[in-house]
Amino acid sequence: MKRSKDNLIDELELQLAKLANQWRRQHSDNQLDASQLTVKEYHLIFKRLWELGWDGEGLLPDSELPNDLMPKYYLERWRKSS
């Protein structure tokens, strides 16, 4: 069964939320190497979403990383629109 684009986006958004939560746990436990790998995985999923035409509108704060770890293109896009 082929997934619709919207379903794929929903699944990827859920992965972002899980990874952001995972990063927070790792960071608070001082697992710096693991948290860096989580950031890389987060960025890969974020890029995939961006390529699908998703712009991050409605991204919940719990699904975000701290601003200095968020993709630059995402921050720039929302800086321009505010």
Sequence ranges of the domains in the chain: 5-81
Closest alpha carbon to 74 in 65, 24, 27, 7: 65
pLDDT band at 80 (very low <50, low <70, confident <90, very high): confident
What are the distances in angstroms from CA 33 to CA 30, 63, 69? 9, 20, 14
Token output for 2: 């082929």
pLDDT of 26 > 70? The answer is yes
What pLDDT, on the 0 to 100 scale, is given for residue 1?
54
d(CA 47, CA 49): 5
| Structure confidence by residue, pLDDT tens digits, 32-57 | 999 999 999 999 999 999 999 999 99
Mean pLDDT, the chain, whole residue set? 93
Kindly write down the DSSP assignment for every residue of 15-42, as one continuous string.
Answer: HHHHHHHHHHHHHHTT-HHHHHHHHHHH
pTM of the model: 0.90
